[in-house]
Amino acid sequence: MSGLPVVVGVGLTAFAANRVDCTVRDLALEAALACMHDAGLMDLKAVQHGLTSYESDHFNRQMTLGALLHDHLGLTPLPNVRVEGGGATGALALRTAWAYVQSGLCDSILVYGAELNGRSVSTQTANQLFALSADFDWEMMVGGTYTAFYAAMMRAHMQRYGTTEAQCAHVAVRNRKNAQHNPLAQKPMDLTIEEVLNSRAVAEPYKLLDCSLLSDGAAALLLATEDWARAHSPVFARRPVVYFAATGCGSDTMRLGDRYPDITNFRGKRAAAQQAYAQLGISDPLAQIDVAELYDSYSGVEIQAVEDLGFVAAGEGGAAVASGLFDLGGRLPVNPSGGLLGRGAPVGATGIAQAIEIVQQLWGTVHPARQAANARRGLTDTHAGIGTLCVVNIFERRD
Amino acid sequence: MAEVTAKRDILTAASPHAETPDIWADFRQIEVLTLELRQRYEHSLGKYSRFFIELENGRFLGTRCARCQRVYAPPRPLCPACLAVTTWQELAGTGTLITYAVQHFGSGANDDVNRLATPYVLAYVLLDGASTLFPHILRAAPENVRIGMRVRVAYSSGPVQHPLHLMYFVAQG
């Protein structure tokens, strides 16, 4: 028996541009309830710890959301901790839970994340609120947006490696197509490369259909020691055991310009991946990972990610993506859930939702049309800013 | 009759799930309010202030680390590589465009940004003598912008709302 934490249950809400039927606490409650049902547990008090995952006080119009959600989930007087890591919040939350369980601080921990990033504010206001997570004095005040920072990074990648807008468009098409097999996805679409290329410019080289979604939604995952899971979850023995097997974390400067001359890719992501791979002795990730959920905040970001995660060499991501290597049925299916482009991205829930897709891929319980073949080991890649904080988590089915 | 002054809508929300039965069926009547929160800040520019003050004099300052000789633009009071306190260093304001984005939507960050006609170019410039890229607006038609082109800092006498907009980039020559 391994000392690694196991996944006991998972729960996800539908992601939507406007979950008008829910406050943020309603969303968290839906996800937590779904998670407890999935684990076959009816008493939340059986859990030993809570962990609240959310990014933005501004979007949610509520500070200390950890206390509020913990209360409404009926988790008081259990201990709770709130984790924030920008776009990587959900993945950092899981990484934190991994450490809490491994350290013996608790034997079980309910990780729940929720965010209202959808239509509660205008796109203009959303841009401003997100820009607050850039460098306020130097990047926000000059008139930059995150789309522009990513676009400048992608233009440098194109300049250095010859990556094309059509290769980026392949990601936008594929991930939204994958979302068609995910009933909880926000924006399943059947697009052509040309439709992506012809969509209106936002921050060139990125166009509207290269951009991920603003979403309302929540996700929850119950992590525990294997002993706790066997003792408390009546369904645990009935499905394959999935371990949260490894986690890595890396960082980089806030501003792109401070990374010069290394401005084409995510250095923090390389560091995070190397840490996680070292924990499992992974030397050839393309061959040793069966399915992955990557942080496709913009289409080209997935191209940069497959390079930084070591699936292909630097500069080869564009051609590899366009060859179908990462499509469903390809060598290593990427973003079968639809990713941030197709499923959606309520920030505090995103990294947890990525993990849920991987866990269900390993259990073999996703819609057959998006099931990766022989999935034994899956990876999630999540980052904040423009790769300012990067988290790579790896899950393994062992039976 | 009771009166609510906030703009509001009352509607019946459909279940986002196709599940039957809808366990939330009793909670589908929804009221939506339009609320506004406004904040006003006294925002100190702290140890970075001299950069902004000297822009009023048409001077562009970075900071230099005496230990590693790196020159930071934007300035950093502390060199993160050496943990040494830096000193102000004037730069000529000429440089090379390294990468850029063409923004078709403004960020709405301040009045100066709102005055920019879209599309505008967010440029990352390696200023001569600097070690890092400085992000700012390049006033040029997007079709005339090329990576590697020579640019320089131009100064504005205002009026501007934010002192960062006392400068911008233009093509050299």
Tens of pLDDT along A101-138?
999 999 999 999 999 988 788 877 887 788 888 899 99
A168 touches chain B (CB under 8 A): no
What integer pLDDT is reported at residue B16 of this predicted model? Answer: 83
pLDDT, tens digit, 9 for 90 and up, residues B27-67: 999 999 998 888 888 999 999 999 999 999 999 999 999 99
Q: How far apart are CA A250 and CA A274, in angstroms?
A: 9
Is A345:A365 a contact under the CB 8 Å cutoff?
no
Strand order in the sheet with B60-64: B71-72, B60-64, B87-91
Residue A52 lies in a domain: yes
Q: How far apart are CA B88 and CA A268, in angstroms?
A: 30
A204 touches chain B (CB under 8 A): yes
| Backbone phi and psi for residue A124, each to the nearest 5 degrees, phi listed first | -60, -45
CATH number at residue A220: 3.40.47.10
Q: How far apart are CA A297 and CA A326, in angstroms?
A: 17
Q: Which helix (H) or strand (E) holds A32?
A: helix A24-39
Work out the percent of chain A whose per-residue pLDDT is above 70: 99
When CB atoms are compared, the residue of B15, B35, B116 closest to A143 is B116
- Residue B102: list chain A partners with CB under 8 A: 151, 201, 203-204
- Residue A256: list chain B partners with CB under 8 A: 124, 133, 135
* 3 state DSSP class of A386: coil
Q: How far apart are CA A97 and CA A41, in angstroms?
A: 19
Mean pLDDT along residues A261-280:
98
Q: How far apart are CA A43 and CA B35, in angstroms?
A: 37
Q: Measuring CA to CA, how many Å separate B132 from each of A200, A270, A273, B136?
A: 32, 21, 26, 13
What integer pLDDT is reported at residue B83 of this predicted model? Answer: 97
**Do B105 and A256 count as a contact with CB atoms less than 8 A apart?**
no
pLDDT, tens digit, 9 for 90 and up, residues A182-219: 999 999 999 999 999 999 999 999 999 999 999 999 99
Residue A58 lies in a domain: yes
Q: Which domain holds residue A28?
A: 6-120+214-238
Segment 115-134 of chain A within 8 Å of chain B by CB: 124-125, 127-128, 131
- Residue B106: list chain A partners with CB under 8 A: 143
**Chain A closest CA to B139's CA: distance in Å?**
13
pLDDT band at A44 (very low <50, low <70, confident <90, very high): confident
Would you call the peptide bond into B21 cis, given omega within 30 degrees of 0 as the criterion? yes
ipTM: 0.94
Q: Report residue A111 as tokens.
A: 């990780």
Residue A111 lies in a domain: yes
Residue A88 lies in a domain: yes
Q: How far apart are CA A378 and CA A358, in angstroms?
A: 6
Residue A267 lies in a domain: no
Please determine, for residue A239, whether its predicted confidence score (pLDDT) is greater than 70: yes
**Do A143 and B113 count as a contact with CB atoms less than 8 A apart?**
yes
Comparing A323 with A121, the larger pLDDT belongs to A323
All residue ranges of chain B with pLDDT < 70 are 19
pLDDT band at A399 (very low <50, low <70, confident <90, very high): confident
What are the structural domain ranges in chain B? 46-171
Q: How many helices and strands (H and E) does chain A possess?
A: 15, 11
Q: Report residue B146 as tokens.
A: 């090329």
Q: Identity (one letter) of the amino acid at B19?
A: E
Q: How far apart are CA A173 and CA A190, in angstroms?
A: 7
**Do B164 and A257 count as a contact with CB atoms less than 8 A apart?**
no
- Residue B78: list chain A partners with CB under 8 A: none
The total of structural domains in chain A comes to 1
Is A218:A30 a contact under the CB 8 Å cutoff?
yes
Q: How far apart are CA B47 and CA A72, in angstroms?
A: 44
**Chain A closest CA to B116's CA: distance in Å?**
9
CA nearest A262 in B: which residue? B132
Is B74:A138 a contact under the CB 8 Å cutoff?
yes
Cβ–Cβ pairs < 8 A, chains A and B: 138
Q: Write the DSSP symbol of residue A45.
A: G
- Packed helices A299-308 and A267-280: angle between N→C axes, nearest 10 degrees: 50
Please determine, for residue A351, whether its predicted confidence score (pLDDT) is greater than 90: yes
Distance of alpha carbon A288 from the chain centroid: 20
What integer pLDDT is reported at residue B120 of this predicted model? Answer: 98
Please state, rounded to an integer, the average pLDDT across all residues of chain A.
96
